[in-house]
Chains A and B, each alone.
Chain A
Amino acid sequence: SYVLTQPPSVSVAPGKTARVTCAGSNIGSKSVQWYQQKPGQAPVVVISYNSGRPSGIPERISGSNSGSTATLTISRVEAGDEADYYCQVWDDSSDSHVIFGGGTKLTVL
């Protein structure tokens, strides 16, 4: 079964750059989505198809994917970026085709 591994937590000071990683076997060959979830709210997609930004998502948020790691990058971090972030892929060979990473809590110091 395919596994996506994320760090449980990332901390960053306001105005700095936060990077959240998502590791998986040959993940660079897959399409990766990133979701932001704030407390008590439903998830929102912030990056689709590795680096696509849906309408309304600021340019400060970007994604990349290569080799065995996908990365969500948030530049000029703001207090409002504090949330849980999940990566997600589709894997044909797994019993459960839609795979989510375990999630990363982004804390703005």
Chain B
Amino acid sequence: DVQLVESGGGLVEPGRSLRLSCSVSGFTFRFYAMAWIRQAPGKGLEWVALIRNPAFGATTEYAASVKGRFTISRDDSASVAHLQMSSLKSEDTAVYYCARDSGGSSWSFDLWGQGTMVAVSP
């Protein structure tokens, strides 16, 4: 089956760090760009970060709200994407989804994981 499975969420104090992982199966990971998208409780979707596939240099982009605090990476040998989050704030509390870009000429997320919850609280 084609699927994305997130892990690593939990309760963390403000200012601390957390690392999320997205394990994929059922498709050739290295062919696809990947993204993290979050959703605060009762709110809408907010894009967090993306990483292009190795053919495009695995370059990264970040939302202004997380730039300098979060780092997205990928391990193509293990078919895993990571999101390293540091200096966490209460406003980072959200469900974090891993998503696959479909690979076309614009960004369209055709496969999503079920999400992992991150709660930032004292």
Contact = CB atoms under 8 A, between A and B. Distances in A.
Interface of A: 30-31, 33, 35, 37, 41-45, 48-49, 54, 84, 86, 88-90, 95-103
Nearest to A44: B112
Given A97-B61, A98-B107, A42 B47 contact: no
Contacts of A45: 102, 108-110
A88 B109 CA distance: 10
Contact of B45 (A30, A31, A35): A35
A71 B60 CA distance: 30
Nearest to B97: A42
A106 B71 CA distance: 35
Interface in B68-122: 97, 102, 104-110, 112-115
Given A45-B110, A98-B35, 10 more contacts: A42-B115, A45-B108, A48-B108, A49-B108, A89-B106, A96-B47, A96-B64, A98-B50, A100-B46, A103-B45
Contact of A43 (B45, B63, B106, B107): B45
A99 B106 contact: no
B25 interface: no
A87 B63 CA distance: 17
Interface residues of B, number: 26
Nearest to B63: A96
B72 to A, nearest CB: 13
B114 to A, nearest CB: 6
Contact of B104 (A49, A97, A103): A49
A104 to B, nearest CB: 10
A54 B67 CA distance: 32
Contact of A31 (B44, B61, B106, B112): B106
6 contacts: A30-B106, A31-B105, A41-B114, A44-B112, A49-B106, A101-B44
